[in-house]
């Protein structure tokens, strides 16, 4: 979800709710403690230089049960961030404190609630690493046969 999309969604809402990937809700007394622009410059394993930019929202639970973040307040925070940090209309990444670490999520909207979508690691240079873009479909019997015939020094294991 891009920044323009969340702003459009917020204009239609009376309350804000975030669903975690397991279906539970982020407690409604959460705060958005940060809205920021994150720029990541890196080289992938194939040697390609890459530049990614996202808007980062950090959700935080406090023991402050008397204050709720309303859609118009978050809308204002986003607009202020766009102005002060020169944030373009890019994808949103959400950080939320999980049990032992910070979880990073993509964001979606189902028409009523925001959905935190689990992020996964990936190889960005599959073509240079010899990794097929789609997993080959193999019959179970064939897989077992290949598994037992793989030589540990052959590079296939």
Tokens linked to 56? 């980062």
Return the number of other C-beta atoms located less than 10 Å from residue 155's C-beta.
8
pTM score above 0.85: no
Which positions ≥6 away from 107 have C-beta within 8 Å? 1, 6, 57, 92, 93, 94, 114, 115, 116, 117
pLDDT for 80-116, tens place per residue?
999 999 999 999 999 999 889 999 999 999 999 999 9
Helix, strand, coil share of the chain (percent; to 5): 25, 30, 45
pLDDT for 13-65, tens place per residue?
999 999 999 999 999 889 999 999 999 999 999 999 999 999 999 999 878 77
């Amino acid at each position: 979800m891009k920044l323009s999309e969340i702003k459009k969604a917020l204009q239609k809402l009376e309350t804000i709710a975030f669903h975690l990937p397991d279906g539970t809700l982020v407690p409604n007394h959460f705060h958005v403690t940060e809205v920021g622009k994150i720029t990541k410059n890196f080289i992938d394993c194939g040697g390609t230089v890459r530049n990614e930019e996202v808007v980062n929202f950090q959700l935080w639970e406090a023991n402050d049960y008397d204050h709720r973040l309303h859609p118009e307040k978050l809308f204002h925070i986003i607009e202020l961030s766009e102005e002060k940090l020169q944030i373009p209309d890019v994808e949103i990444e959400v950080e939320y404190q999980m049990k032992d670490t910070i979880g990073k999520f993509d964001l979606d909207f189902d028409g009523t609630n925001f959905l935190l979508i689990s992020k996964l690691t990936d190889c960005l240079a599959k073509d240079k690493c010899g990794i097929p873009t789609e997993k080959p479909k193999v019959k179970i019997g064939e897989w077992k046969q290949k598994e037992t015939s793989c030589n540990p020094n052959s590079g296939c294991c």
